[in-house]
Structure 1
Amino acid sequence: MGLAQFLQWNVSLFLLILSRLAGMIMLAPVFGARGVPGMVKLGLAVGLSIILYPLIKASNPVIPETLLLYAALVAKETFVGLVIGFVIYSLTAILQGAGQLIDFQMGFTMGNLIDPVYGMQSPMMGNFQLILATMLLLATNAHHYLIAAMVKSYAYIPVSPTALPQGIDFYVKLVSAVFSLSVQLALPVIGALFIADLGVGLLSRAVPQLNIFTVVFPVKIIFGFVVLFLSMAFFGEAINNLFNSNMAWILQLYKGWKP
């Protein structure tokens, strides 16, 4: 192998590694946030690619020599990274879904803000929970496990143009689990406000002379904040369980990847 071919093979392998890691970092929580500068994301992807390069090179992967096949392999590696990033992103989706349900019950549906983390409209409570969960992940160094999960992908999914993702049933179960966990996370606030609504309804029927609906909305918001504040004592444990479930989904995705 000549010097030119040697350099071409090594640069091609490095770009393949970078493509997968960039796809994962683009969607992963913490790293893929809009507030993280693009150069930081790129630097993280390049840094991890440099660290992983000797390990991937030791497996001596087959790299196509033709430009068309190589471009298809780069697209495939990017797709692999995006699929893994999508599964990791489900943690964020759970928090956003729970916040949407809480906002609907508290009457904040029309007051959605622009999410500073991902730069889109998001529920107020979901935005609050997402920022709080991000702080917890950073404080407990859980983002190191996210990086480890990205690196572990090469142990199950080698650089290969024939690798295919899991069947559609895996993603259907993933989406259903996201909805289910969102409801469970929001259930304390939703349940308390639902009981309060029942009490207000019964009181208005029992004493129709009272114009209770003029004060019920601000009281309902205050009551919702009180319940949310009381439930914060269990928020850390809930995030820990969600993170463990997320890691289990990633491992299930890796083991079910069909070559």
Structure 2
Amino acid sequence: MEVLYTYFPAFLLVFARVASFFVTLPLFSYRNIPTTHKIGLAFFISWIMFFTIEKKPLSIDGVYFMLIIKEVLVGLFIGLIAFMIMSAIQIAGGLIDFQMGFAIANVIDPQTGVQSPLMGQYLYTLALFFLLAVNGHHLLLDGVFYSYRLVPIDQLWLPFGHENVVEYIIKTFQAMFVVAFQMSIPIVGCLFLVDVALGIVARTVPQLNIFVVGLPIKILVSFIIFLVVFSSLFAVTKQLFELVLLSMRGMMELLGGT
């Protein structure tokens, strides 16, 4: 009982970081998951990690409250990096929807509670299923666990203003758009050619109402191309998962000062 009382402040720091991870981490931060379940899962994972990490007896004082703020920021920031990379799928879906003519049809994203592109939400749901199939959620939890090796629990400061951190965030943001472009370019490129063909038809056959026949043709071509490139989309999604893990690790190394 004395040991538990001695290390209870350290356990609260672990719980603060894990619970903050679950606020922004993909899949675990879904709004349709009850908050009590999230808190319970964070508590039991924190309890397991508490006995495996290096910890020191801490006293509750002003420095301790600064450590709590630091733990919350680490969890939120690293989870946000993972969420930002995963958002490339919805950006790709938005580009596809714009070319297909589905830009006016949005659905509610259960994770954020805001409207998202139709194809983007469909691809994002498939990506989450793929993430579960390859045990990617285990790797995300491993990232939470190994964060204590790179960002120790007793580290007081975080180099948020360092130029390397800012540069890394910009590169991660750039990588998100590169992946989104890779996923959307087969369908968007083909639909651009369809637009060119429809423009030629509109000039050569003025009697044909191109706005009436153009939208169904683009939708049909889009679904045909989507079936053709479906396997390659999952190959890019696999690279996206690797990029998520590398981005999380790189950010933890920078925050840890290594």
Out of 53, 60, 69, the residue aligned to residue 55 of structure 2 is 60
- C-alpha separation in 2, matches of 1:45 and 1:182: 31
User: What is the aligned partner in structure 2 of residue 163 from structure 1?
Assistant: 158
User: What is the aligned partner in structure 1 of residue 129 from structure 2?
Assistant: 135
User: What is the aligned partner in structure 1 of residue 26 from structure 2?
Assistant: 29
SS for the counterpart of 2:87 is helix
- C-alpha separation in 2, matches of 1:175 and 1:28: 17
CA drift of 1:224 comes to 1.2
- C-alpha separation in 2, matches of 1:65 and 1:241: 44
- C-alpha separation in 1, matches of 2:46 and 2:256: 24
Give the 5 Å matches for 1:68-107. Answer: 68-107=62-101
CA contact (8 A) 2:151 2:252 kept: yes
SS for the counterpart of 1:55 is coil
- C-alpha separation in 2, matches of 1:250 and 1:61: 25
* Cα 1:7–1:62 shift into 2, 3 Å: closer
User: What is the aligned partner in structure 2 of residue 45 from structure 1?
Assistant: 42
User: What is the aligned partner in structure 1 of residue 196 from structure 2?
Assistant: 198
CA drift of 1:54 comes to 1.6
Tell me the percent identity.
Answer: 33
CA contact (8 A) 2:70 2:157 kept: no
Task: Map Cα deviations across residues 215-257 of structure 1 (whole Å, 9 max, x no partner).
Answer: 1112211211221222212222121111111111122112222
**Consecutive unaligned residues in structure 1, runs of 5 or more:** none
Give the 5 Å matches for 1:105-184. Answer: 105-159=99-153, 160-165=155-160, 167-184=165-182
SS for the counterpart of 1:96 is helix
CA drift of 1:98 comes to 0.7
CA drift of 1:24 comes to 1.0
Task: Map Cα deviations across residues 109-144 of structure 1 (whole Å, 9 max, x no partner).
Answer: 121111134322111111001110111111221111
**Structure 1 residue identity aligned to 2:233:** F
* Cα 1:225–1:256 shift into 2, 3 Å: same
SS for the counterpart of 1:163 is coil
- C-alpha separation in 2, matches of 1:48 and 1:203: 62
CA contact (8 A) 2:14 2:50 kept: yes
- TM-score normalised by L of structure 2: 0.91
- TM-score normalised by L of structure 1: 0.91
- C-alpha separation in 2, matches of 1:249 and 1:60: 26
Which moved further from structure 2: 170-179 or 28-37? Answer: 28-37
The RMSD of aligned alpha carbons is 1.8
CA contact (8 A) 2:88 2:179 kept: yes
CA drift of 1:45 comes to 0.9
**Structure 2 residue identity aligned to 1:98:** A
Which moved further from structure 2: 146-155 or 233-242? Answer: 233-242
Task: Map Cα deviations across residues 45-70 of structure 1 (whole Å, 9 max, x no partner).
Answer: 111111111223xx33363531x332
Which moved further from structure 2: 206-215 or 194-203? Answer: 206-215
CA contact (8 A) 2:9 2:60 kept: no
- C-alpha separation in 2, matches of 1:76 and 1:256: 14
CA contact (8 A) 2:16 2:71 kept: yes
- C-alpha separation in 2, matches of 1:162 and 1:27: 21
CA drift of 1:170 comes to 0.8
* Cα 1:33–1:50 shift into 2, 3 Å: same
1:16 aligns with 2:5: no
Report how many residues are paired: 253
